[in-house]
Amino acid sequence: MTSWVGTRSSATLSQIDSVVRAIRRTPIIDHHAHPLLKLESQGKIPLISITTEAGGDAIHAATTSLPHLRAVRQLAKVLKCGYTWESVVAAIEQKRLNSPEDWTAQCLSGIESILLDDGLDGEDEGEEYTWHDDYIRSGCKRIVRIEKVAADIISKIGMELDNSSHPTDDVIDEAFNQWIQQFDAHILAALEDPEVVGFKSVVCYRTGLDVAKAVDEDAATSAFNEIITNFALLDFRRLQEKSLNDLVVHRTAMLIRDSSSREKKPLQFHTGLGDNDISLAKSSPSHLQDFIRAFPMVPIVLLHAGYPFTREVGYLASVYENVYADIGEVFPCVSQDGQERILRQILEICPWSKILWSTDGHWFPETYLLAILQMREAFETVLCDYVRKGHLGWRAALELVQTLLFKNANKLYHLGLELIELEEESDIELGPHASDMELLQAFLKDESPPDFVRICWNDFTASSRMRMVPFRKFLSLLNDGQSTDIGITKAVFGLIQNDWLMPGVSATGEYRLHPDFSSLKKGPIEGHISMYAEFREKSGARVALCPRSLLQRAVEFGGENKLTFLLGFEIEFMLLERFERNHVGASSARYGTLTTDGHAWSVSRYFADPKISKLLRDIVTELEDMGIFVEQLHAESATGQFELILPPLPPVEAVDTLLHTRDVMSALATAAGFKITLHPKPLANAIGTAAHTHMSISSPNGSKPEVYESFYAGILKHLRGITAFTYSNPASFERLADGVWAGGRWVTWGTQNRETALRKIEDSHWELKSMDGMANPYFAMGAVLLAGTHGVKNKEKMTWGDCEIDPAKLTGNDRKELGVKEMLPASVEEALKALKDDEELVGYLGEELVERYVALKGFEMDFLGEMTEDERRGWLLERY
């Protein structure tokens, strides 16, 4: 398992793997959930409610919460759609149209049985509890909501009396007795009903958990009489009077206690987390302590981890034999860190024989899916950590998992089910501690075995390199428990494009090329699968010179400062015809421009060419088959120039996807007789080719100006040095010019201004224009994110004003007012000097990395400088 490389552990990797497998394959008894909406009713409740208890106008703010953003990422991955809420909603709506039954089955996968509280408001919009039986292995049972029973009986009595004229006090008193009798009869019938396995109280919502020690019958009678007397005026729907709510809870507990069965049915209490109907101060389960003592024979379940009163739940379950702790609903309504903290807090004191887990799934199948995915992630993180540290034996961890997810609920609710592990090929989302073999098996689940595995990296010259291993050999390494790391000479970070080794670097020593199985993709050609890798020392430590590790480090530094990011790349490329070297009229570079009927930006006529149109269509189709969903494709300005836009993704995944997409495009173009080039200036007299990057801060505070302005101020402050990575070749500076939508030559920004290096689009969504396809994107985006995050950490001020015109047209006074003081470097040499002179940026990146990068680029410049301009263009066209 890659997560434990280089760490000391009191447990072996195979033992930790066993714990992970148990978390994924133990069937779940979901002991507290609610019905799904009927298909025709799903539009009546906002889908955004799946991660929040907020309602009304407050619900819209949920889009800036950590739970929501995490749900978007997880749903997008499952649905194979873009990583935006809009894309997720569209994909779910498509599922509802195309295959609602299959989607529901996928969302409920892994559940053995559901115990459904079907007493939610709007119950007519939900499916019957038995309807859900088709989607789980062992069918559903009912949980009776006692306040709903009591209110329905009052409504029935109230309507009957309301139709009579002026009921007397005696009639109303009799009605009270009738209500008690009918309520008792309903509870007694439920106690006898094998389909009912428990009861549920929402007194927490109504009048709070401070239930009185004894029922005040006089107060209850008076409250009842008040309701009945004014029934029509009150528009009665719920019990909202404390004396009546306390009475309902007490009578239910007494009837459970006095039932003849030795197998007492539990009474669940909503505690903690809820919508704004709740009185938060009275939602702590500590208020129930007197009630718990009064009914020691009644099993009591405290739902929803009592959040934020989690430790109170754990304490009560630990000291009272009849109390059990549930840790549902916080999945997915609380952030990942919060969920892990809740699990740790419960386990601080509470025996796991007293803990249960539930989804609290309701209305939408996605609530079940998210709850299960996130539970598995939290369990893996926390329990594997305990096992690794020796706080918990791995066999005990296995027992804990099975007990929490299945055994406790099976025993408490007297279900009599047999624990049979989920099938290995069950469609289970893999969590953060998945083994390499599990990731590979999941990836190849519906695929034919490949011929080769590519392990890829991008070097200091942005050359894509790889090692290729026959799949048979690769699989045997995994089956034998051997490392799939590959030994690579330490000279790897001293080579230029033709493998010349820079002075001062030797071919001695060896790194380990460590593949990241989470980056697995099909292709780029048939029979191959690919993944990206990081360089490690033999000890497992990161290599300071590794480009991918730099970006990983930048992402982690962002996380330490409560920042997460999305990146989306535009791939501008030139399509050239590929000639044989002896073709009449062909240059030594073997490539020629396409013939065209007036090629221009976004014109449609170019797609009429069947050969070109087929290639572009095949690129999009092939990428989609690999799970890469192109957002747009259009013609650019130069002859044969196009732009393909990728979706926003987390940074490392975004760069991996960018590089893989380029490989796929190149392979398909070659097979079709074309050459795709990313050269920034492939035609001396035509518009250049860029690699614009869209960036946004996806953490909840990212839309605040005080956050994103400091972030982009940090980038602008260091942009001259960053340019050494984003414009890394002499050809890059052939493109650098004013007035051609290339981002211009000035260090500044502007709202929707394509002539500025940074274009603000909306809130934290900005575009970096000063980057091209010759940049190593790991280096470039690592430098950008580190500079921006330090900007937030240091509260950098945005001293640059919003530039509304081409900066090249600003007067001296205009530039002074807008704080536009510096120009971007005009050459690689000037950019490298700006990098070396920026001590802060060097500190962020690491002196060793900067020193090696500057030295190697200098060596590369010396080599390229010996060529003529035409020779250099042809040489670079062959390689980029």
In the predicted structure, residue 441 carries a pLDDT above the cut 90: no
Q: pLDDT grade, residue 587 (50/70/90)?
A: very low
Average pLDDT over residues 178-202: 95
* Residues 85 and 199 both lie in one domain: yes
- What was the pLDDT predicted at 577? 83
- What was the pLDDT predicted at 165? 59
Contacts of residue 332, Cβ cutoff 8 Å, sequence gap at least 6: 50, 51, 67, 70, 71, 367, 370, 371, 374
- What was the pLDDT predicted at 212? 92
Look at 238 and 620; give whichever has higher pLDDT.
620
* Residues 162 and 190 both lie in one domain: yes
* Residues 129 and 177 both lie in one domain: yes
Among 508, 543, 578, the domain boundary falls at 543
| Out of 18-32, 111-125, 568-582, 750-764, least confident range | 568-582
* Residues 519 and 372 both lie in one domain: no
Strands 641-645, 565-578: pairing is antiparallel
Q: What average pLDDT is seen over the chain?
A: 89
In a domain, 550, yes or no: no
Which tens digits make up the pLDDT trace of 673-716? 888 999 888 877 777 888 899 999 998 888 899 999 999 999 99
Among 412, 431, 465, the domain boundary falls at 412
* Residues 212 and 254 both lie in one domain: yes
In a domain, 425, yes or no: no
In the predicted structure, residue 824 carries a pLDDT above the cut 70: yes
Contact at 8 Å (CB) between 855 and 744? no
Q: Which of 41, 43, 36 is nearest to 127 (CA)?
A: 36
In a domain, 552, yes or no: no
For residues 361 and 104, give the distance between their C-alpha atoms in angstroms, rounded to a whole number.
Answer: 12
* Residues 599 and 743 both lie in one domain: yes
In a domain, 832, yes or no: yes
Which tens digits make up the pLDDT trace of 357-367? 999 999 999 99
Which tens digits make up the pLDDT trace of 400-422? 999 999 999 999 999 999 999 88
Per-residue CA distances from 290 to 245, 250, 261, 557 (Å): 16, 12, 25, 48
The proportion of the chain whose per-residue pLDDT surpasses 90, expressed as a percent, equals 61
In a domain, 439, yes or no: no
Residue reference for tokens 């330090």: 790
Kindly provide the residue ranges of all beta strands, DSSP E only, lying in 405-519, ordered along the sequence.
Answer: 452-458, 464-470, 486-489, 510-515
Question: Considering the entire predicted model, what is its pTM?
Answer: 0.71
Average pLDDT over residues 571-590: 66
User: Secondary structure of 657-686 in the HEC alphabet?
Assistant: HHHHHHHHHHHHHHHCCEEEECCCCCCCCC
Number of domains in the chain: 3
**What six digits make up the tokens of 14?**
């195979």
State the Rg of the chain over Cα. 32
**Full domain range(s) for residue 800:** 557-879
Among 412, 435, 458, the domain boundary falls at 412
**What backbone phi and psi angles, to 5 degrees, belong to 30?**
-85, 95
- What was the pLDDT predicted at 12? 61
* Residues 284 and 363 both lie in one domain: yes
Look at 356 and 233; give whichever has higher pLDDT.
356
Instruction: Look up residue 811 and give its amino acid.
Output: T
Contacts of residue 365, Cβ cutoff 8 Å, sequence gap at least 6: 36, 103, 104, 107, 108
- What was the pLDDT predicted at 500? 92
Q: pLDDT grade, residue 163 (50/70/90)?
A: low
In the predicted structure, residue 9 carries a pLDDT above the cut 80: no
Average pLDDT over residues 370-387: 93
In a domain, 515, yes or no: yes
In the predicted structure, residue 830 carries a pLDDT above the cut 60: yes
Question: Which CATH number covers residue 694?
Answer: 3.30.590.10
Question: Which CATH number covers residue 313?
Answer: 3.20.20.140
* Residues 613 and 745 both lie in one domain: yes
For residues 230 and 234, give the distance between their C-alpha atoms in angstroms, rounded to a whole number.
Answer: 6
* Residues 515 and 569 both lie in one domain: no
In the predicted structure, residue 4 carries a pLDDT above the cut 50: no
Please confirm whether the linkage preceding 524 is cis (ω < 30° from 0): yes
Q: Residue 615 CB: number of other CB atoms within 10 A?
A: 20
Average pLDDT over residues 769-779: 93
Question: Which CATH number covers residue 482?
Answer: 3.10.20.70
In a domain, 323, yes or no: yes
- What was the pLDDT predicted at 56? 84
Where does residue 657 rank: exposed (0-12), middle (13-18), buried (19+ CB within 10 A)?
Answer: buried
Contact at 8 Å (CB) between 126 and 136? no
In the predicted structure, residue 605 carries a pLDDT above the cut 80: no
* Residues 524 and 564 both lie in one domain: no
* Residues 728 and 805 both lie in one domain: yes
Q: pLDDT grade, residue 33 (50/70/90)?
A: very high
The DSSP code for 112 is E
Distance of CA 75 to the CA centre of its chain: 7
* Residues 533 and 575 both lie in one domain: no
In a domain, 584, yes or no: yes
